[in-house]
Amino acid sequence: MIITKKALSRRTALKALGVALPLPFLDAMVPALTALEQSAAQPRLRFGAVYTPNGVIPAQWFPTGVGRDFQFSPSLMPLERFRNDLTIISGLDSVPPPPPGETQYNNHADASTRFLTDVTPSRSLRAGVSIDQLAAKVLSKDTVLPSLELALESVDSGSSCDFGRSCVYTGTIAWAGPTQPLPMEHDPSAAFVRLFGDGAGVDNATRRARVQQKGSILDSLLAEVASLRQSVAADDRTKISGYLESIRDVEQRIQKALAFNAEMPSFTRPAGVPEAFADHAKLMFDLQLLAFQGDVTRVGTFMIGREFSGRTYPEIGVPDAHHPISHHQRDPLRMEKCAKINRYHAELFAYYVQRLKETPDGDGTLLDHVAILYGAGMSEGNGHVPENLPLVLVGGANGRLAGGRHIKYPKGTPLANFHLALLDTLGIAVDKHGNSTGRVSLD
């Protein structure tokens, strides 16, 4: 690494024609090694949460054995190759009390809302601040976006879902305040423009049109890219090339989706969403990765599916709607189909983890510098069971998390206690969250 007295600013971005393209962390951003500058060179810490809907089949999901002596379950087998990069969590309950004057239902709206807020939602559209937003106030205080909320399904927020609750509850896991649910973006073209384009005051239809007309945003940055390459060392040129190739790849996949959807009735499929579910998932995961890599934000939430989701999965031999078969009533065939869906979701998440693991970041990889919580807001979907939630904690969090373990907490431990410990790991001091009663140990 070449060290000079004058370093590139971490906020350096390539700009042209309404495009602001942040750069990944480069060696040229590391200044001369004074004490203050060494501190500035520490890797950025990121936090993410990836949510799966409608619960799991616990017998197929949880591993056997605890500590480092555990065996991966069938549902989590796609993550086995990341054994040393993850910790499987069991024993945590999400049963905060209901709002005053209301009844505890433990339904789908409760599951997704309590996943990060540790607060049971009210009928009057009220919950609590989610831990991702607490993290965003600290980790993303100097980024372009405080956080990024992505999903693979859209939700009509004006209709009713599950025990008369608003669909807002089942369509997001991110809350900026007790009455501020954050919408999840499911259209990759709109998400891309939000990350890298101007887009201020522009509706989604206009944004998509701009993407179609403009072609690659990189074409407008050729002069700036060439100038930057001349000013940095060979290793940095390699990092820049890889980053720009990733952006162009995402652009090309969005263009293919736009071309496909141009021939579809607008009311049946939102423009820009790929035809295949797996392609959509991978594209959205790559957008989240680019947001982390370019330091557009350091906090992201991602819903593989909304609670109450009726998505079918014929590509894996499950033509049944997900939510109805999650109420399997112990029918072996239905349970097996649900387990297939759980494993399929883990396969898609494994794609994201692999991409993080192979993406350079400073002196390590993005996976070394992130903590991602993966799992569901209920255990068994058949009874909306909120105890013993299925969770996996992935990433090194700048050396603060050790993988290769299954931690089983005592029965009745609040999920909120785990959230406090996780926030501590991220360097965020919070005395209490939701129904927390203390802190668990992550060691």
Q: Give per-residue pLDDT as tens, 214-267.
A: 456 556 555 666 666 666 777 777 766 766 666 676 666 666 655 544 443 333
Q: Is there a contact between 379 and 386 (Cβ–Cβ < 8 Å)?
A: yes
- Going by C-alpha positions, the residue among 257, 249, 290 that lies closest to residue 188 is 257
pTM for this entry = 0.81
Which of the four pLDDT bands, split at 50, 70 and 90, describes residue 273?
Answer: confident
Strands 360-361 and 364-365: antiparallel
Q: What is the pLDDT of residues 288-336, one digit of tens each?
A: 998 999 888 999 999 999 999 999 999 999 999 999 999 999 999 999 9
State mean pLDDT over 41-69: 94
- Going by C-alpha positions, the residue among 430, 433, 438 that lies closest to residue 178 is 433
Q: Is there a contact between 324 and 313 (Cβ–Cβ < 8 Å)?
A: no
Query: 341 Cβ partners below 8 Å, 6+ apart?
Result: 313, 316, 318, 322
Q: Is there a contact between 241 and 304 (Cβ–Cβ < 8 Å)?
A: no
Q: Is there a contact between 377 and 389 (Cβ–Cβ < 8 Å)?
A: yes
Written as one letter, the residue type at 254 is I
State mean pLDDT over 44-55: 97
CA 428 – CA 422 distance, rounded (Å): 9
Which of the four pLDDT bands, split at 50, 70 and 90, describes residue 37?
Answer: very low
State mean pLDDT over 141-162: 79
% of the chain with per-residue pLDDT over 90: 62
CA distance from start to end of the chain: 34
Say yes or no to pLDDT of 281 above 80.
yes
Query: 59 Cβ partners below 8 Å, 6+ apart?
Result: none
Q: What is the model's pLDDT at position 21?
A: 60
Phi-psi region of 431 (alpha: psi -120 to 50; beta: other; left: phi over 0): alpha
State mean pLDDT over 54-76: 97
Q: Is there a contact between 339 and 393 (Cβ–Cβ < 8 Å)?
A: no
Look up residue 190 and give its two tokens: 């709109």
Q: What is the model's pLDDT at position 16?
A: 47
State mean pLDDT over 394-417: 97
* Side-chain-facing half-sphere of 158: CA atoms under 13 Å: 0
Q: Is there a contact between 125 and 408 (Cβ–Cβ < 8 Å)?
A: no
Q: What is the model's pLDDT at position 196?
A: 74
- Going by C-alpha positions, the residue among 49, 278, 280 that lies closest to residue 172 is 49
CA 426 – CA 372 distance, rounded (Å): 11
Q: What is the model's pLDDT at position 208?
A: 52
Q: Is there a contact between 258 and 240 (Cβ–Cβ < 8 Å)?
A: no
- Helix, coil or strand: residue 50: strand
% of the chain with per-residue pLDDT over 70: 73
Q: What is the pLDDT of residues 359-396, one digit of tens each?
A: 999 889 999 999 999 999 999 999 999 999 999 999 99
Name residue, tokens 């700048």.
Answer: 398
Look up residue 223 and give its two tokens: 């002069």
φ, ψ of residue 246 in degrees (nearest 5): -65, -40
- Helix, coil or strand: residue 289: helix
Which of the four pLDDT bands, split at 50, 70 and 90, describes residue 414?
Answer: very high
Domains of the chain: 1-39+188-272 (no CATH), 43-186+300-443 (3.40.720)
Average pLDDT, the chain: 84
Query: 344 Cβ partners below 8 Å, 6+ apart?
Result: 313, 316
φ, ψ of residue 229 in degrees (nearest 5): -55, -35
As a three-state string, the secondary structure of 8-34 is: CCCCCEEEECCEEEECCCCHHHCCCCC
Look up residue 178 and give its two tokens: 């007790």
